[in-house]
Structures are given as structure tokens and as C-alpha cells.
Structure 1
Amino acid sequence: MTILDDLKVAAPEPDLRRASAELLRLKEEVGRGPDPEATRRQHAKGKLTARERLELLFDEGTFSEIEPLRRHRASGFGLEAKKPHGDGVVIGWGTVHGRTVFAYAHDFRVFGGALGEAHAAKIHKIMDLAEAGGAPLVSLNDGAGARIQEGVSALAGYGGIFRRNVASSGVIPQISVMLGPCAGGAAYSPALTDFVFMVRETAQMFITGPDVVRAVTGEQITQNGLGGADVHAETSGVAHFAYDDEASCLEDVRYLLSLLPSNNREMPPAERSGDPADRRTDALADLVPADPSRAYDVRGVIEELVDDGEYFEVHEGWAKNVVCALARLDGHPVGIVANQPSVLAGVLDIHASEKAARFVSTCDSFNIPLVTLVDVPGFMPGVDQEHDGIIRHGAKLLYAYCNATVPRISLVLRKAYGGAYIVMDSRSIGADLSYAWPTNEIAVMGAEGAANVIFRREIAASDHPDATRAALVAQYKAELMHPYYAAERGLVDDVVEPGDTRRVLIRSLDMLRGKHAEVPSRKHGNVPT
């Protein structure tokens, strides 16, 4: 008998059934998490576990996990004695409304969701698969930042995430869902993505925490006061959406995905609409006052125009003087940008310009046509606005519109004055079609201001300056601000009756659906900052 024969006798027979049973046991153990107490603590904070969140995000039974058995290879500082499978992050793919979506979810029960080398490698893997597969990436964030015990290796892991965020920008939709803490450099990944969702009370984002702020500046503040959901949704503009609970948050992530294409090479998903394309919108005549000084809520106009009155407002709590929303017209997704006369008279300021510019760029990236509803008195005057850079911030909105190649339609609801009229997707900066209602006022400025400039000498020399001013204002309106002045000069394509607005928009978008725009060959533009 040879040595080989001895080995054959000694080696146990392979048993695939036994091995399969052991694999199932191991995966069940990984799925349960480190220990029941960790899960209890997570639930006590009002937070779901990573896999519970993924179940809410994906269509039932469609999530496929990869690398569930991966472990870190670090040693020292007690790490060699604690090597849980999965290393604190769950990655994989599934379907949302029947379309493929990739995701990763931090598991706060393992190392507090902190990122180490193996943890980062898993995220890099799923990000690469999402880009290669041309499908959206959703990150469910609930982590304590870099794993300190792994030193610079953890920091390098973040660098790999940031680089992939940028490489996928404008290629696939990237959505960040903040469900726990996100501090330090880790906060830059959500900032690089297209949309940020946050849950109140449990989610916070900041570069330096309250303890550091207190030590450096002496300011006393809580974690939520510094970087909670409402702070970022209403003050900083970092978060696009804020919610009271995880379930409603993840449901709206699913809804947002239903409005977006899988990648920049596809059109956004259309669906059959039960709302007639030729439905009259006569209520608009009552919603919008003819008097340009009277306020109204432009969201009522949007609701009347879009399919079934449904729209998804982006950045609802921040820069409220402009409204940005995704909706459908005849079943096709559109992006709507509208001045909001009920807030600061709808004037454009620094924040409104930034908000609208980012939204326009996002829609353009993902082939979503743009409809702009114009009722703007101008840019916000003031020393603070000028000193804080209203010129360069306003230029961001101008740049975004000029750079956009998707179908673009603008509609002047009422007034459109000065440079703000030009910036709000006027014909002169490339709108494909420009319409106006029959009470529109398109001018360099309002009649009162214009008359005071043009006729200041006549008014000053008059024995009855108020009466003279009133007469000259009326003359200016009659000659330069009548509703058909812009149409006569080809600056608007047609003056439409409010009740016919929905039909006109749908027919125009249908005509523009095959639009192809040639762009200059260049590495990239130099966006105003």
C-alpha cells in the first residue's frame, strides 16, 4: 500500500449535505447579529437593524446578499479576539418596484458600524457593481465613523468611497439614507450623493461633534441641535428630506426610485396615467391673483397641473422661496422649478439659487425634462446678500440651466423682472419653449421702479408729482409691459390661457422627447462655486 492509499483511507468522505447544513446554520447566525442584547439596544433607540431596513427598502424576498462571511484581518487593541462575520456592513442587491437596485447598510450592532479595511472593501465592491450594472445605489448609514483601532487603513477606506461617489456622479442615482450617527470625514460621502434622507432624533451629521465645538468655541449644543435632521433639512440644506420614522423614510426612498432612471443612459420610467392629458386646468385662473403684488402658494399651481395632483417636493424645508419637485405629466417624470410668491415674494437669493441649481443639474444628469414656472420680482437686494456672494451663487443657477440638455419649458405665470427672469430658464439662455399667461409682465423691472428711473426729471419738475408718476407708470405699462410685448418680439413662443396649460405642457414635452443636443467637446465645465 502506498502513502497515497494511506491518505485515502484516513481522509473522511466529503458530505455535501452536512456541509450545506453547516453553511445554513452559519448564515442564520450571521443574520441574527452578534447577540440578542445588541438587537434589543438597537430597537430601544427606535432604530431597526440593517437587515430589517433592507427588507423595507427592497421588494419582498428579492434581496441577495454578498460577502456575508467576510471578516477583518486586523490585530492588536483587542481586534484579534473579535472577528464577527460581515464586519459591520451588509451589502447586496434586489429590486425596487421590479427594477434592480444595489445597497449597503451599516450594522451598528457590530463595532458601532465603524468602518475598517474589510468593511470598506465590501462597500467598494458593491459600489463598483452598481456602476458596472448601471443601477442605483442606496446607502443606509448608521455608523460611528472610522474604526480607530485600524488607524490609517480605515481612513483610506473612506477615500475609496469618496472616489467612487464622484466617479458615479451623474452616471447612476446615488441616495444616502441617514439612520444614525455620521461624523467626521464620513459625512462627505452623503454630501457627494444625489439625495440625502434623514430620520429625526436618531440621525445626525457633523464634521466636528458637540464636544469639539465646546472645547474650541465654548458653544454648548446637543448632537441634534448641531447636526440633526431638521437642522440639515431647514438650515444647512445638506438633507433633502426629513422624517419621523424609518418606515416612512424608506417608503419615500422607494417612491423616489420609481421616478428616476436606472442610469444616465436610460429615460426615466413612464407609467400609464389615468389623468387625461387634455384635462382643463381652469382652477388656475382663481389660484393665481392677477395683481403682481399679491401672494399665493405656487404649490397649488403644481398640484393642478401634474398627474393626479401628486408631486414629490425636494428640499421642502430649505430655501422655501423656490419650489423644486418631481412629478409626472401624462405618466412621464418631470422636474419642476417654481418661484414661491408666498415666501419672500418669490425672490431669488443665495440659498434659493443653490437649491434650484442643484436640482436642475440632477434632473439633467438623469434625463428628466424641466418645467419652470416663473413669477419672480428679481434677486434679493441687501448688503449681506452681496457680501456673501449672490453674484457667484446666482451664477450657479444660470450655469445649471445653460448646461442642461434635457427638454426645457418655461412658463411665465405672472411677473418676470430683470436678471432673475433671464436666469429662470428664459428663451435667451436656451429654453426650448417659452410660454406666458395673458397677465404676464416681462420687463427689466417693475413699472413703478422703471418710471422713477426713466422719468425722474419729469416727476421732480411736476407740480403734482404723484399724479405725474401714476400717469407715467401707466404709460410704461401700456408700452413695454403689456402681456403680448414679449410674444411680439419672439421672446415667448405663445401666450396660453391658464385652463389650457396642462394640455400645452404635455403636448410640448411629447414633441421634445426625442431632443438631441450637441455639446462642445471638453473635459468638464468650470462650475461657479
Structure 2
Amino acid sequence: MSWQPEIDELHKREKIAYQMGGKENVNRHKSRGKMTVRERINSLLDKDSFHETGAIAGNADFDHDGELRDFQPTNVIIGRGKIDNRKVVISADDFTVRGGAGDLESMEKQVYGELMAHELKLPMVRLVDGTGGGGSVTSIDELGYAYVPVNPAWDHVVNNMGRVPVVAACLGSVAGLGAARVVASHFSVMVEDISQMFIAGPLIVKHGMGQDLTKEELGGVQVHRSSGAIDNVVKTEKDAFEHIKRFLSFLPSNVWKLPPIMESTDSPDRKEGELISIIPKNRRQPYKIRTILQMVFDKESIFEMGSHYGGDTVTGFARLDGHSVGFLANDPIVGGGGLSVKACNKIERFVDLCQTFHLPIINFVDQPGLTIGLAAEKQGLIRHGVRAISAIYQATVPMIEIILRRVYGVGGAGMINGHGLHLRYAWPSGDWGSLPIEGGLQVAYRRTLEESDNPQELLEKLASQFESFRSPLRTAAAFGIEEIIDPRDTRPLLCDWIVDAYELLPELLGPSRHTMRP
């Protein structure tokens, strides 16, 4: 007696499942320049590493003799695989089956995938290409009643944010719950031309809001490149998979493990001569912060997140002598590097990300402070600024500050916890205070200037007087700044610091005090 007939039946159903939505639907999908769901999985994961779960789940139709007549697989594929030889859980939508709209089996598989990542403590990768919800209002006719909506697996979705790295790629027209699944992640990416993301699609928006928009106009990359809902935008699906791989390479598999250390061929003692003159003597003149980052971190190790959102602050990962680190850096080319609402939101989220996975943070500071003016007040900037500063103060990961130039006001003061060890180095271009002297004199000596016969001459005299006190060396003499360094020594000092920082990480392992939110 053999079980071969049952095994044959199993393989028959698997063969049908591998055909996805059928030849016609697959061809239509590929004609739009998109990979099939199985091509995506094979492109992202290490070769032959994918182990699928629930391949034959779906809707089966049998004849009177109990023989299978037709079978439609679910439009979600889940399983485990490897990325760069590290295990991950993957959940991928198949748009060729019911346009990626959810049904009972699909929802169950999504829930199981999230649970698998949660219990096995493995990174969660979502390849989203559909709504992910229950489809249309026709479900009311099918069920005979209207149901109260529930976001499936959302307890695991929320909890996973504090346990394992979660990444998501928007790979089609993604709406509703599908869009929520994209942004409920530590890192998300969209692809030009094929990706659109919205709370509700164009037809619903047209009938509900009277706005007649195409998919691209409503939720294409030109919308989300700078909306803050998506971290990065790339040109191809393969580029998206490379971004996912790079992001994961900086993080541990879960919060109970240390960040990975890679072998580095870049000398920790490397000193770049250009650093000594990269900050202009003219304080109003900007410079390229990304050039500084490239000269300090391991060569070709920088991975930037959200470059088009909150551009006055640059955030991302890099390596120092092979060690993963997170970095913050003010960009004086964008809004003078001051803290806008978007920059504050960006800082808060990124610091929480580093705190969740215990990555040390390096803060390159040239901070003139919170943006001022009527627009900033109408946006409630002070609240956003305080939230960003609070994230920095609540972080327990090792953090170091490199003061490149300005440190002014509440924003400048909040770039590191001033009540802790306050480990920091300043470049000789350092310039700090409660207010910049240029504008501060007008306020502090307003009445005196108003009463003067020659206010401009008096202002210039006061500026010259205060300029003599402005040297960072005077601050160092009063131990108001611990060390002023030759900018060329920045990399060697940071490479020495990161070794000590990693010695402190084991005592921090485990979940953070609060679960990170998207």
C-alpha cells in the first residue's frame, strides 16, 4: 500500500499553483514591465533557498467523483528563504490572481507570515502588489451582510516593528490595507513607472471627492518621493531588491542580536586632506555634507534613507571599520540645514530605528536651530522639534557628536543629550551660542541701537567686539567644548570610538522601552 497517489495529487496542485493566475493573466502582468511574484522571490532571495508554506492553499473545484476540475491558488505566497545567507520570512502578493485583492485564504497566509517572522525572530520582507484587503462592496452581496473591518495580523505587524527588521516594496497599484502594509515597516521602497500607492484608488477618489486623477497623479513616485510615506524610490524592481538587501545588511536579524560586523579593507587610520578646508571661512557659504560623509565612513558603505524628504537633514547607515552605524547630518544647502517639520519627523523615526536595533549613532552637526517664521509657527514646528529632541534624549545607544560648524538654540542643543557623557568632537570651524551674533545683536541691543545717532556704525562696532569672543578655542579654554580636533583626524577617532561602542551593546540587547512606530 503506497501513498503515491496522494503525492501525485499534491504535485498536480503544486504545478497549477506555480502557474499563478494563468497564462493570459501572467502575460498581461508582464506586458506592464513587471516581474511575476515567483520571479520576484527568486530575484531577491539566495538561489534555491526559498521554502514555501501553503503553496496549494486556494479555491478548488471538484467533480462528482471527487476529482479536481479546477484550482485557483491564493494571491499571497509566503515562506522562508535567505538573503546574503541570512534567513528571512517573505510574503509576496500575486497580482495575476484576483488583482491582489484579499480573500479568506490569502488573509490567513498573511497572518501566518507575520506570525512566522514574530515567533522565529526573523526579518519580515513584504512584496506588495495589490489592495491586500477584502476586495469590493460585492462581498456584502456574497455574505448577505456588511462586516465590521479588521486589519488582519495587525497585532503581529505592530509587534514585529519592535522585534525584527521589516521591509516592504510597493510593486504595483497598492491601495488601502496594501498601502498600510507597505508603510508599516522600517524601510520601504517604490519603483518608478510601475508603483502607485494610495489610501483609496482614483475611482473612489473621483466619486467621493470629485477629483479626477490618474493612478500616477494620485499616488505615483512624483507624489511619494517627497511625501514621507516611502523611504526610497528606484528605477527598477531589481534596484528595489538591492536596496532591501543593503538595508538588511546593516541590521541584526532581531533585537536580541548584535548588528553585523563586516570585514573592511578601508584603513581605520585613513585621513583625507581635503577635510581641513572643506568648511568655508565664510559662515554663510554652504558645502556638500555628503562629500564629508564619504571621506569619513568606509568607502562605498553609505546607504541613505529618505533623501527627498526633509532634505535639510541627511539620514542613513554606513560602516566604520566594518561596523554598522546610523548617522544624522545637517545639509546647509537645503534651508541652511535648519530643522523643519519634515526634518524633525525624519530624525525622530530614524533615531527610533537605530535605538530599536541597537545601532550606534553619529551626529554630524551644523545646526542653526529650528526654522523660524510664520509658516513654521502655523505648522506647530516646536512640537515636532521637541519630539525629535526627545527621541535623541531617550536613546540609550552609544551616540557621538561631530560639530562641523553651527550649534544654535533649542535645535542645536537637542542634537545630543547634554546631560549625559556628551561625547563629542568639534572642528575649528565650530560656531555656537543661543543665537547667531549677526541677528542676536539686533535683539539684545535694540534700544541702544534705536537711540544711537549712527546705529549702523554702532552695530559694526558691537559685531567686531563680539567676534573676538567667537573663537571655539575660547570655549575650549573654559571646557565648554571637550575637544577641538583636526578634521582630518575624524575618521581615525570614530573608528576607535566604534570599537568601544560595540563593547557596550550586549547590555542593551532585547526590545526597546517602546515599540517603534512606522
When the two structures are superposed, what TM-score results if normalisation uses the length of structure 2?
A: 0.91
Supply the distance in 2 between the matched residues of 1:518 and 1:55 (Cα, whole angstroms): 38
Q: RCO higher in 1 or 2 (8 Å CA, sep ≥ 6)?
A: 2
Supply the distance in 2 between the matched residues of 1:95 and 1:297 (Cα, whole angstroms): 37
Residue 107 (structure 1) shift: 0.6
Aligned to 2:130: 143
User: Secondary structure of the residue that 1:294 maps to in structure 2?
Assistant: coil
- Cα 1:507–1:20 change in 2 (3 A) is same
Supply the distance in 1 between the matched residues of 2:394 and 2:95 (Cα, whole angstroms): 41
User: Secondary structure of the residue that 2:358 maps to in structure 1?
Assistant: coil
- Cα 1:524–1:506 change in 2 (3 A) is closer
Contact 1:232 1:238 survives alignment (8 Å) = yes
Supply the distance in 2 between the matched residues of 1:453 and 1:398 (Cα, whole angstroms): 26
- Cα 1:504–1:154 change in 2 (3 A) is farther
Residue 126 (structure 1) shift: 1.5
- Cα 1:468–1:155 change in 2 (3 A) is farther
Aligned to 1:357: 348
Aligned to 1:441: 431
Supply the distance in 1 between the matched residues of 2:181 and 2:484 (Cα, whole angstroms): 45
Supply the distance in 2 between the matched residues of 1:411 and 1:325 (Cα, whole angstroms): 16
Aligned to 1:62: 49
User: Secondary structure of the residue that 2:126 maps to in structure 1?
Assistant: strand
Q: Which one of the candidate residues 27, 31, 34 is aligned to 1:47? A: 34
Aligned to 1:169: 161
- Cα 1:154–1:353 change in 2 (3 A) is farther
**Residue 404 (str. 1) matches residue 395 (str. 2):** yes
- Cα 1:400–1:429 change in 2 (3 A) is farther
Supply the distance in 2 between the matched residues of 1:498 and 1:393 (Cα, whole angstroms): 32
Equivalent AA in structure 2 for residue 187 of structure 1: A
User: Secondary structure of the residue that 1:138 maps to in structure 2?
Assistant: strand
Contact 2:303 2:316 survives alignment (8 Å) = yes
Q: Alignment RMSD, CA only?
A: 2.7
**Residue 185 (str. 1) matches residue 172 (str. 2):** no
- Cα 1:260–1:523 change in 2 (3 A) is closer
Structure 1 window deviating more from structure 2 (484-493 vs 315-324): it is 484-493
Equivalent AA in structure 2 for residue 360 of structure 1: V
User: Secondary structure of the residue that 1:310 maps to in structure 2?
Assistant: coil
Supply the distance in 1 between the matched residues of 2:150 and 2:195 (Cα, whole angstroms): 20
Aligned to 2:272: 281
User: Secondary structure of the residue that 1:100 maps to in structure 2?
Assistant: strand
Contact 2:161 2:517 survives alignment (8 Å) = no
Supply the distance in 2 between the matched residues of 1:93 and 1:155 (Cα, whole angstroms): 33
- Cα 1:308–1:526 change in 2 (3 A) is closer
Aligned to 1:123: 110
Structure 1 window deviating more from structure 2 (274-283 vs 81-90): it is 81-90
Contact 2:74 2:105 survives alignment (8 Å) = yes
Residue 182 (structure 1) shift: 1.6
Aligned to 1:506: 495
**Residue 294 (str. 1) matches residue 285 (str. 2):** yes
- Cα 1:392–1:528 change in 2 (3 A) is farther
User: Secondary structure of the residue that 1:495 maps to in structure 2?
Assistant: coil
Q: Percent identity over the alignment?
A: 30
Aligned to 2:64: none
Aligned to 1:487: 476
Residue 156 (structure 1) shift: 7.6
Per-residue CA distance 1:453-512 (angstroms, 9 max, x = gap): 223344334343223212212222322x32134434544331111010001111122222
Supply the distance in 2 between the matched residues of 1:57 and 1:325 (Cα, whole angstroms): 22
Per-residue CA distance 1:425-462 (angstroms, 9 max, x = gap): 2x415464111101201111111122222233443343
Aligned to 2:207: 215
Residue 53 (structure 1) shift: 0.3
User: Secondary structure of the residue that 2:503 maps to in structure 1?
Assistant: coil
Per-residue CA distance 1:54-84 (angstroms, 9 max, x = gap): 011101110110110112599xxxxxx9974
What pairs up with 1:3-402 in 2 under 5 angstroms? Answer: 13-16=1-4, 19-72=6-59, 84-144=71-131, 145-148=133-136, 150=139, 159-234=151-226, 236-402=227-393
Structure 2, unmatched stretches of 5+, are 62-67
Contact 2:126 2:167 survives alignment (8 Å) = yes
Aligned to 1:478: 468
- Cα 1:73–1:484 change in 2 (3 A) is farther
- Cα 1:183–1:343 change in 2 (3 A) is same
Structure 1, unmatched stretches of 5+, are 1-12, 75-80
Q: Between Structure 1 and Structure 2, which shows a larger proportion of helix residues?
A: 1
Supply the distance in 2 between the matched residues of 1:253 and 1:158 (Cα, whole angstroms): 29
Supply the distance in 1 between the matched residues of 2:52 and 2:150 (Cα, whole angstroms): 22
Contact 1:120 1:154 survives alignment (8 Å) = no
Alignment length, in residue pairs? Answer: 505
User: Secondary structure of the residue that 2:327 maps to in structure 1?
Assistant: strand
Structure 1 window deviating more from structure 2 (361-370 vs 218-227): it is 218-227
Contact 1:370 1:406 survives alignment (8 Å) = yes
Per-residue CA distance 1:166-191 (angstroms, 9 max, x = gap): 11112101111100122123322222
- Cα 1:275–1:182 change in 2 (3 A) is same
Contact 2:78 2:109 survives alignment (8 Å) = yes
Structure 1 window deviating more from structure 2 (470-479 vs 197-206): it is 470-479
Equivalent AA in structure 2 for residue 115 of structure 1: G
Per-residue CA distance 1:378-401 (angstroms, 9 max, x = gap): 211122221221011112211110
Equivalent AA in structure 1 for residue 187 of structure 2: F
Equivalent AA in structure 1 for residue 199 of structure 2: I
Supply the distance in 1 between the matched residues of 2:11 and 2:515 (Cα, whole angstroms): 53
- Cα 1:72–1:524 change in 2 (3 A) is farther
Supply the distance in 1 between the matched residues of 2:192 and 2:515 (Cα, whole angstroms): 36
Supply the distance in 2 between the matched residues of 1:43 and 1:115 (Cα, whole angstroms): 21
Supply the distance in 1 between the matched residues of 2:217 and 2:70 (Cα, whole angstroms): 36
Contact 1:405 1:517 survives alignment (8 Å) = no
Contact 1:134 1:263 survives alignment (8 Å) = yes
